[in-house]
Amino acid sequence: MIKTLALYLFLLSSFVSFTGCNRSNSEPTPVITETPARYVSSALLLSVPLKTLQTLVPTQGYEAYLSEVKYGVSVYKIVYHTTYQGQEVKASGLICVPDGMMTPAPVLSAQHGTIFAHREAPTHFSGLSGFELFASAGYITLIPDYLGFGESKNLFHPYYDRQHSAMAVVDMIKAAKEFYKEKQIAAGEKLFLVGYSEGGYVTLAAQKEIETNPAHSLKITAAAAGAGGYDLSSMLDDVTSGKDYSYPAYLAYLLQAYNHTNNWQRPLSDMFQEPYATKLPGLFNGSNSGGSINRELPRDPQKLFTPAFYQGLLQPSGEQTLKKALQDNSLTNWTPQSPTRLYHGTADEIVPFQNSKDTFDGFRARGAKQVEFFPIEGGTHGSAFVPMLASIIPWIKEH
């Protein structure tokens, strides 16, 4: 159960490099004049007694956290409203509630990493999800599915899209407040954001949205993000370096997401060689895992992409619409105000370590005073998560 937490909570399912949204970071954030009701409904999925959790934790290799397991947990599915391409849609996620707390519980929103199949969405878990650990430690734990999964599985997931990523989290936080009132749950004012891989990107996107738009009336206590591709433009260098890209499924995911989210309506054959252009819609129909998709695609970008598209990526004047979308969705030109930690494994084979290092340096250069960077020596994209988890738990407790 707890191993599932490490796999699913900030989800070690990796990430890709880019995302599309046409609103530039240099443009002002839209002002929200009113906050419509976000909460739609909820359903109790299961309740896990404290004794069950205390029994399971030592069997999963997390004995060090046994002292943190203090409460039984009730797990709910929540349905809420958010927006996609300016239209109201329903989204979903999990809320894990510590049972029997005598004081208001702080809230922790956990953003998972890249998933491909609908069955991998947090609300589609069967049995214990692993999210019960944080809730058992006394945190109301929110886990959004993201758009494209759960209640909104009819949409193509807006992968690495700054605004859609942020609002899926922000609107769930708002909807949860209505849920607390309905269920008479005492929630505190402290709000933590945590995420890994794509979830690291989503965490910073939500943090930026909350901190730069006071109309949300939310305040972040602290945020921790690991191994996200925050500078999407620089990720392009890996694709055009002439080296193999270890997880080409991410590239195909990203480009299709741009195409859908931005209504580019660009034929896949403009970007991908055959037979891949024809195969991609079937591979990304929500039934295949990332691993199975990856095995169907070549690791050499020059074999995956058409020559014209690849040359457009190489040339400064080529593929300007795509390159602008990468720039617009990067999270480098703002200054975090809340206590913020960035983590990244120095041996990450998926998202370059330098991406986080440069993002951190940029934050500090822009005047961020409460940002810290923690390199995880020798950590790969998969292995760096557990050291990050071990570091942030006591840090969160300090707040």
DSSP readout, 310-344? HHHHHSTTSSHHHHHHHHHH-S-SS---S-EEEEE
Q: Model's pTM, two decimal places?
A: 0.90
Residue 231 has pLDDT above 90, yes or no: yes
* Residue 137 maps to a domain: yes
| Residue percentage of the chain with pLDDT more than 90 | 79
Q: Read off the pLDDT of residues 133-185 as tens digits, 9 standing for 90 and up.
A: 889 999 999 999 999 999 999 999 999 999 999 999 999 999 999 999 999 99
Tokens standing for 384? 């760096």
Helices and strands, number each (H, E), in the chain = 14, 9
Is 278 domain-assigned? no
According to DSSP, the residues that pair with 375 across neighbouring strands are 344
- pLDDT, residue 260, reads 97
CATH number of the domain that residue 349 is part of: 3.40.50.1820
Whether residue 258 is contained in a domain is answered as no
pLDDT at 221 exceeding the cut of 70: yes
Is 322 part of a structural domain of the chain?
no
Over 70: is that where the pLDDT of 11 sits? no
Residues in the chain: 399
Residue 366 has pLDDT above 60, yes or no: yes
Domains in the chain, number: 1
Instruction: Confirm whether 136 is domain-assigned.
Output: yes
Exposed/middle/buried for residue 365 (C-beta within 10 Å: 0-12, 13-18, 19+) = exposed
Mean pLDDT of the chain: 89
Residue 182 inside a domain? The answer is: yes
Which positions ≥6 away from 215 have C-beta within 8 Å? 31, 32, 33, 35
Neighbours of 61 (CB within 10 A): 12
Residue 13 has pLDDT above 60, yes or no: no
- Please give the pLDDT value at position 131: 65
Inform me whether the pLDDT recorded for 25 exceeds 50.
no
Q: Is residue 113 part of a domain?
A: yes
Of the candidate ranges 63-67, 188-192, 305-309, 321-325, the one whose mean pLDDT is the lowest: 63-67
Residue 316 in any domain: the answer is no
Listed residue (172, 329, 201) closest to 262, CA to CA: 329
Enclosing domain of residue 357: 2-232+328-398
* Digit-coded pLDDT (tens) for 372-391: 999 999 999 999 998 998 89
